[in-house]
Structure 1
Amino acid sequence: MSRTVYLNGKWLDEADAKISIFDRGYTFADAIYEVTAIVGGKLIDYPGHSARMQRSLGELGMVCPLDADELLAVHREIVARNNVEEGMIYLQISRGVDDRDFVYPKEMKPTFSMFTQTKKVLENPYVKSGISVISLPDWRWERRDIKTVQLLYPTMAKTQASRQGADDAWLLEDGFVTEASSATAHIVKKDGTLVTRDLSHVILPGITRASTLDLAREAGIKVEERPFTLEEAKEAAEAFNTSATNFVLPVVSIDGQKIGDGTPGPITKKLRDIYVESRLATAI
Structure 2
Amino acid sequence: MKRFCFADGKIIPTETATIHPMDLGLIRGFGIFDFLRTTGYSPLFLEHYLDRFIASAEKTHLPLTYSREQLRAIISELIEKNDLLNGGIRMLLTGGLSENHFSPAEGKLFIFAEALSMPAEEKYQNGVKLLTLEYVRPIADIKTTNYTLPVWHSVNWKRLGAEDVLYHWNGVVSESSRSNFFIVKNGVLHTPDQHILMGITRKQILKIAGNVVIRPITLEEIWDADEAFISSTTKILLPVTQLDDRKIGNGKPGPITMGILEKFKVLETQAAI
What TM-score bracket applies, with the shorter chain setting the length?
A: over 0.9
Shift of 1:50: 0.7
User: Aligned partners of 2:260, 2:169: CA distance in 1, in Å?
Assistant: 27
Number of the residue aligned with 1:15: 15
Number of the residue aligned with 1:215: 208
Is residue 24–residue 104 contact of structure 2 (8 Å, CA) maintained in 1?
Answer: no
User: Aligned partners of 2:120, 2:84: CA distance in 1, in Å?
Assistant: 15
Shift of 1:258: 1.8
Q: Tell me which moved more, 202-211 or 21-30.
A: 21-30
Number of the residue aligned with 1:187: 183
TM-score by length of 1: 0.90
Shift of 1:40: 1.8
Number of the residue aligned with 1:134: 131
Shift of 1:56: 0.8
User: Aligned partners of 1:260, 1:197: CA distance in 2, in Å?
Assistant: 19
User: Aligned partners of 2:120, 2:39: CA distance in 1, in Å?
Assistant: 11
SS, match of residue 278 in structure 1? helix
Shift of 1:33: 0.4
Percent sequence identity is: 29
Deviation string, structure 1 residues 152-206 (Cα, Å, up to 9, x no partner):
11223333322322111111111011111110011001x11111001x4x11111
Is residue 30–residue 149 contact of structure 1 (8 Å, CA) maintained in 2?
Answer: yes
Number of the residue aligned with 2:224: 235
Q: Which amino acid aligns with 1:223?
A: V
User: Aligned partners of 1:209, 1:115: CA distance in 2, in Å?
Assistant: 23
SS, match of residue 230 in structure 2? strand
User: Aligned partners of 2:136, 2:68: CA distance in 1, in Å?
Assistant: 35
Number of the residue aligned with 1:279: 268
Q: 1:63 to 1:99 in 2, by over 3 A?
A: closer
User: Aligned partners of 1:266, 1:197: CA distance in 2, in Å?
Assistant: 21
Shift of 1:100: 4.6
Number of the residue aligned with 2:155: 159
Number of the residue aligned with 2:113: 116
TM-score by length of 2: 0.93
Shift of 1:227: 1.4
Shift of 1:62: 2.3
Shift of 1:99: 4.4
Q: How does 1:167-206 map to 2 (within 5 A)?
A: 167-189=163-185, 191-198=186-193, 200=194, 202-206=195-199
Is residue 24–residue 102 contact of structure 2 (8 Å, CA) maintained in 1?
Answer: no
Number of the residue aligned with 1:44: 44
Q: Tell me which moved more, 168-177 or 119-128.
A: 119-128
User: Aligned partners of 1:271, 1:36: CA distance in 2, in Å?
Assistant: 20
Shift of 1:125: 4.3
Is residue 86–residue 120 contact of structure 1 (8 Å, CA) maintained in 2?
Answer: no
User: Aligned partners of 2:215, 2:232: CA distance in 1, in Å?
Assistant: 19
Shift of 1:96: 2.1
Q: 1:124 to 1:100 in 2, by over 3 A?
A: farther
For structure 1, list consecutive stretches of 5 or more residues without a partner in the other structure.
none
Shift of 1:122: 8.7
Q: 1:58 to 1:132 in 2, by over 3 A?
A: same
Shift of 1:151: 1.0
Number of the residue aligned with 1:92: 92
Q: How does 1:1-80 map to 2 (within 5 A)?
A: 1-80=1-80
User: Aligned partners of 2:3, 2:153: CA distance in 1, in Å?
Assistant: 29
Shift of 1:268: 0.7
User: Aligned partners of 2:126, 2:76: CA distance in 1, in Å?
Assistant: 33
Is residue 97–residue 111 contact of structure 1 (8 Å, CA) maintained in 2?
Answer: no
Is residue 183–residue 241 contact of structure 1 (8 Å, CA) maintained in 2?
Answer: yes
For structure 2, list consecutive stretches of 5 or more residues without a partner in the other structure.
none
Q: 1:157 to 1:171 in 2, by over 3 A?
A: farther
Number of the residue aligned with 1:249: 238
SS, match of residue 66 in structure 2? coil
User: Aligned partners of 1:124, 1:116: CA distance in 2, in Å?
Assistant: 24
Q: Which amino acid aligns with 1:260?
A: G
Number of the residue aligned with 2:253: 264
